[in-house]
Amino acid sequence: MLDMRFIRENPGVVRDGAAAKNISVDLDGLLELDARSRALQQRLQELATQQNRITREIGPLMGRIKAEKDPAKRAELEKQATELRQRPTEIKQESLELQEQIKALQPEIDARLLTIPLPPDSDVPLGKSSEDNVELRKWGNVPSFEFPVRSHIELGEKLELFDVPRGVRLAGSRSYFLTGAGALLHQAVLRLAMDMMVFEKGFTPLTVPVLVREAAMRGTGFFPAGREQAYRVGEITETGEDERFLTGTGEVGLTAFYLDEILDETQLPRKLVTQSTCFRREAGTYGKDTSGLYRIHQFDKVEQVIICKNDREESIRWHKEILANSEQLLQRLNLPYRVMQCCTGDLGPKNASMIDIETWMPSRNAYGETHSASRLYDFQARRCELRYRDTQGKVQYCHTLNNTVAASPRILIPILELYQTAEGAVRVPEALRPYMNGMEIITKQ
């Protein structure tokens, strides 16, 4: 969420930002509603001032009436009091009307305000869609195979690493079981990612709720814009509906951990990591990536989140660092990847900048997105009321950033496909062997 004052003072920046992101907003409507509301509030304040003044006279007057012994003087004072009491009644009529009008305006303002995106940072290239993303660098060599390359789907079937038909029978499209060595590989990647972040990078490990209240979804910026992507879990009870949402990323739990709190600057930065199951409806993707483990409704992800001071430079530094963390993991797995600076059109409403990592996937003969590092400045913190007291004692909004460390089973696609042998087996990446009881190769049982 943006600061209303910032929008008021920088309408051009906000308008251009939304346009660059290809997000249509009713900025004029918002500004007009805001101006109207403010005018009404000003008038309401004047009325309240008058009323308070009168009210403050009545108190002492009542005291004097009680103390007054002389009936004549007392009657005079009571007359005064009665007069005074009349006036607020008149004022009240007008202020009630004003309040009514202001209240009617508020939902309109909020609805628009929540849809105003964070303008992209100046270093983000302009562009319409992911086609216009800019490659920052490449790492590793894309291998050429001397045998026909099998897709992860073929390998999975042959080596019984996962079972999509049974998953679908049980849970519908985009569902799967991981089986045997497939399940082990999945756990191994996640453990490697988690251990690296905790024991080498100094992140604090958390387990997080994946079933959360609406406030957490709205606070982290996934609502209202992405509402259709979340599974809603609700039960009708006698007193109403008990509604929760399944989170699509551990980012929700990590970022909303300090929801509504005021931290102390000495507590920052917070470096948090979690492994959590992620749920995504993938609404509107019918026919896209329909087979295999690329686009699925449920997966597990190790996610890193940074909560830091309200400082642009510091945010940018952390952005580089969380990106480097993930690159390091891919390098340990020896998976070729490229780093893509997303263009304005590819950014979500909450991002100032976003850098994706795409890992080479032989069956696609292309790089496929496996990581996404976001820099959000105080956009989420505002919605979450996530603040800190700085060294001057001033309360400020934090900055937040996040990045994937490893999302599996998607990351199994490049692992299986890149480590396959001519015989149709899969070598286990060295970095994962300690997590697989030393297993070196996955063959048909």
Partner RNA sequence: GGAGAGAUGGCCGAGCGGCUGAAGGCGCCGGUUUGCUAAACCGGUGUACGGGUUACAACCUGUACCGCGGGUUCGAAUCCCGCUCUCUCCGCCA
Q: Which residues bind RNA (CB under 7 A)?
A: 3, 5, 38, 41-42, 44-45, 48-49, 51-55, 58-59, 62, 85, 88-89, 92, 96, 99, 103, 237-240, 261-262, 389, 393-395
Spot the catalytic one: 15, 36, 295, 433. 295
**Identity of the residue, 154 or 265, whose beta carbon is nearer to RNA in the bound complex:** 265
The CA angle 307-308-312, to the nearest 5 degrees, is 125
Spot the catalytic one: 372, 375, 383, 387. 372
Which of helix, strand or coil describes residue 337? strand
Cβ–Cβ < 8 Å for 251, 217: no
Spatial distance between the Cα atoms of 407 and 228, rounded to a whole number of angstroms: 21
Minimum Å gap between C-beta 121 and RNA is: 23
At 87, which helix (H) or strand (E)? helix 71-115
Minimum Å gap between C-beta 37 and RNA is: 9
Spot the catalytic one: 174, 280, 375, 382. 280
Instruction: Assess whether 372 carries a catalytic annotation.
Output: yes
**Identity of the residue, 307 or 329, whose beta carbon is nearer to RNA in the bound complex:** 307
At 441, which helix (H) or strand (E)? strand 441-442
**Identity of the residue, 258 or 318, whose beta carbon is nearer to RNA in the bound complex:** 258
Minimum Å gap between C-beta 59 and RNA is: 4
Minimum Å gap between C-beta 305 and RNA is: 22
Instruction: Assess whether 94 carries a catalytic annotation.
Output: no
Write out the DSSP string of 269-283: PEEEEEEEEEE---T
Instruction: Assess whether 295 carries a catalytic annotation.
Output: yes
Written as six digits, the tokens of 144 are 């050429």
Which of helix, strand or coil describes residue 128? coil
HSE value, Cβ hemisphere, 13 Å, CA-based, for 8: 11
Write out the DSSP string of 203-264: PEEE---SEE-HHHHHHTT-TTTTGGGSPEEEEEETTEEEEEEE-SSTHHHHHGGGTT-EEE
Instruction: Assess whether 108 carries a catalytic annotation.
Output: no
Spot the catalytic one: 369, 385, 427, 433. 369
**Identity of the residue, 96 or 134, whose beta carbon is nearer to RNA in the bound complex:** 96
Minimum Å gap between C-beta 104 and RNA is: 10
Exposure of 199 by Cβ count < 10 A (0-12 exposed, 13-18 middle, 19+ buried)? exposed
Nearest to 36 by CA among 91, 97, 101, 94: 101
**Identity of the residue, 13 or 48, whose beta carbon is nearer to RNA in the bound complex:** 48
Minimum Å gap between C-beta 234 and RNA is: 11
**Identity of the residue, 59 or 287, whose beta carbon is nearer to RNA in the bound complex:** 59
Cβ–Cβ < 8 Å for 403, 372: yes
Residue positions annotated with a catalytic role: 280, 295, 369, 372, 410
